Structure 1
Amino acid sequence: MDYLLVKHLHVGMAYLSISLFILRSALSVTESALLQHKLVKILPHLVDTFLLLFAVLLMITIKQYPFVDAWLTAKLIALLFYIGIGTIAIKRGKTAVIRLWASIIAVLIFTYILGVAKTHQVLSWLAVI
């Protein structure tokens, strides 16, 4: 598969994923019933599945892998933290304030992941300063 096509599909899914996360976080913090809508519950998981699929295709294409290449290891570890904090932001946070702070932290982690992806450096955005 063409590298640029897979890269653009991966990046597109990443932006769609964070957009859906922010929407779901806002619905969670405001305790909106829309959070239970079938499309709101299913679409983010579908997008994230394709995001990970394209990530694996990219790794194979560029022949760089977590636990071999530091920047991909950093992305993977940050992704695990993002997922954990994201579950607090969307459903496990007991209060709206906890869910709000978890949402903010999750977006900051996503921003770190984006910086690592752009720079291929563990320092993320700090690597360009």
Structure 2
Amino acid sequence: MRSFEALLMEYYLPLKHLHMLCAFLSATLFIGRLLLDVTGKPQWRHSPLRRLPHINDTLLLTLAFTLLAIGPWQPFTHQWLGFKILLLLGYIGFGVGALKQSLAVPTRTICALLALAQLAGIFYLARFKPVLFL
């Protein structure tokens, strides 16, 4: 009979891969919406593309919490993960600003660049898991 821990770890890798797929889809949907705004095609705001990212991001965060619960990583023991969470909060905030039509175009552009920079940092930390502070 397998232990409960062994059973959980059996599901870790498939959940991690699903989480990675959702992360790439989230980034693709964000960049796609930015490009649609930049090219003057705001009709995406009245299509399923308006709701799809929220569904995907809910699944992404649910998988992240599940991986935290069953996996070996801890946000404050593994510094890269804690920093990744901080970047995620910044990405969400600046991403909202980048897509907010009521803001001026220069402000939205700065928000978009900051959101994309934080997104790049999130992917870097997830891929390489560096030791940040000794």
Instruction: Give the TM bin, normalised by the shorter chain.
Output: 0.7 to 0.9
Deviation at 1:93, TM superposition (A): 6.1
In 2, Cα distance between equivalents of 1:113 and 1:51: 14
The match for 2:3 is: none
Q: Could you tell me which residue of structure 1 aligns to residue 38 of structure 2? A: 29
Gaps of 5+ in 2: 1-7
- Please tell me whether residue 76 in structure 1 is matched to residue 80 in structure 2: no
Partner of 1:116: 125
CA contact (8 A) 1:29 1:100 kept: no
**Structure 1: unaligned runs, 5 residues or longer:** 124-129
- Residues 70, 122 of structure 1: 8 Å contact kept: yes
Post-superposition Cα deviations, 1:66-86, rounded to whole Å, max 9, x if no partner, equal 234312110111000001110
Partner of 1:127: none
Cα deviation 1:67-117 (Å, max 9, x = unaligned): 343121101110000011101100166222322232122111111011111
Which is further off, 71-80 or 87-96? Answer: 87-96
Segment of structure 1 superposing worse, 36-45 or 4-13: 36-45
1:64 paired residue among 70, 73, 78: 73
Q: TM-score, normalised by structure 1?
A: 0.84
Is the aligned partner of 1:87 residue 2:96?
A: yes
Out of 16, 19, 24, which is 2:25 matched to?
Answer: 16
TM-score, length basis structure 2: 0.81
Cα distance in 2 for partners of 1:86, 1:11 equals: 19
Could you say what secondary structure the match of 2:36 adopts? helix
Give the letter aligned to residue 92 of structure 2.
I
Deviations 1:22-71 (A, max 9, x none): 11112333442323223111000001001111111111221323234312
For the residues of structure 2 that align with 1:103 and 1:27, how far apart are their CA atoms?
13
Deviation at 1:118, TM superposition (A): 1.1
Find 2:110's aligned residue among 91, 101, 104: 101
